[in-house]
Amino acid sequence: MTAATYGAFLAARDGEPDVLRRTLSRREALFERLARDPVRASAAVDRTTFLRNLARRRPAPGLDDRMLWLLATAKANQAERFAVGLAELHGRMDPDGEPVRLHVQLQELYHTRILADVCAVFGLPVRWRPPPLVPRLVIHFMVHTPETWHLPFAGCAEMVGCVVFRALRDRGVALFADEPRVATRIALLYDEILTDELGHVLHIASLLGPARLAFMHRLYRALGHRLAAQMPELGLLFGPTELRQRCAAFRTDTIAAELEDRGHADR
């Protein structure tokens, strides 16, 4: 994937960026369409338990899988949101800068909104908090160093994002299979994020030469499952063995084929 090819894909998929409003025109059209067809789950969710555990670094013992999944969904984009906020604080969101970078930054803001919409299906609000210490340190490194230094680390992080969002999509669809409209909306929203994350991985890979690309994959093999496990809810929901297996099985072509089959790859 060349930079020109990816830029053309982003322009077609996202539409025009508006930095002042932090919007992408075609993403806004998608949200308007979804708002005209709201989905609400009938499954009972304890709002008090959700909000109490949302404020905790580690969830309380004894939560069921549905609650763990909702908490993981609410927390899944904390690192990306923190990274975009930090980059914006340091003047890295430039309306006259490189178009691909601007689209990617705005996409991460939409991921926050998308995950909040997943929780809203269950009548739950999302309150954003900074990510744990290790992701914060990695983000500070990536924001404060030249792109040529941190691209392999960014690629590794995007690969982990693909694994996490795909896992949460699959588990959410399974947990709420008894409500087909809810399961379908979960899949659609998570696939929006997963399509973006896959594009980020492929774009970063295209910018790296053979040596740095190999380094990115070594980083992922060494750190991928550890980064995924930084969210305790994921560890409880999937267990360390499944997380490790999912990280080991990551392949861009497999995810791309899934998204194409489901009709979300080039909406």
- pLDDT tens for 4-41 read 788 888 989 999 998 888 899 999 999 999 999 999 99
Q: Decide if pLDDT at 97 tops 70.
A: no
Q: Decide if pLDDT at 83 tops 80.
A: no
Question: Which of 113-122, 123-132, 156-165, 230-239 comes out lowest in average pLDDT?
Answer: 123-132
Which whole-number Å values give the CA distances from 29 to 139, 143, 197, 261, in the listed order? 31, 31, 20, 23
Q: Decide if pLDDT at 174 tops 70.
A: yes
Mean pLDDT throughout 68-96?
78
The strand pairing partners of 17, in sequence order, are 24
Q: Decide if pLDDT at 226 tops 70.
A: yes
CA distance 167 to 155: 18
Which percentage of the chain shows pLDDT scores above 70?
Answer: 94
**Do 145 and 86 contact (CB within 8 A), yes or no?**
no
Q: Which two tokens stand for residue 132?
A: 């744990």
Question: Which of 13-27, 45-59, 221-235, 250-264 comes out lowest in average pLDDT?
Answer: 250-264
Read off φ and ψ for residue 130, nearest 5 degrees: -65, 150
Mean pLDDT throughout 56-75?
94
Between residues 88 and 33, the one the model is more confident about: 33
pLDDT for position 130: 80
The secondary structure element, H or E, covering residue 197 is helix 180-207
pLDDT for position 96: 57
pLDDT for position 182: 97
pLDDT for position 219: 94
Q: Identity (one letter) of the amino acid at 61?
A: P
Q: Decide if pLDDT at 162 tops 80.
A: yes
Tell me, what DSSP letter sits at residue 114?
H
Kindly indicate the confidence band of residue 264, based on its pLDDT and cuts at 50, 70 and 90.
low
Q: Decide if pLDDT at 266 tops 60.
A: no
Domain borders along the chain are 3-262
> Mean pLDDT over all residues of the chain?
88
Which whole-number Å values give the CA distances from 219 to 122, 151, 224, in the listed order? 37, 11, 7
Q: How many CB atoms lie within 10 A of CB 11?
A: 16
Q: Which two tokens stand for residue 251?
A: 């392949």
Question: Which of 60-64, 135-139, 244-248 comes out lowest in average pLDDT?
Answer: 135-139
Question: Which of 39-48, 92-101, 153-162, 173-182 comes out lowest in average pLDDT?
Answer: 92-101
Q: Decide if pLDDT at 74 tops 80.
A: yes
Q: Which two tokens stand for residue 257?
A: 């084929």
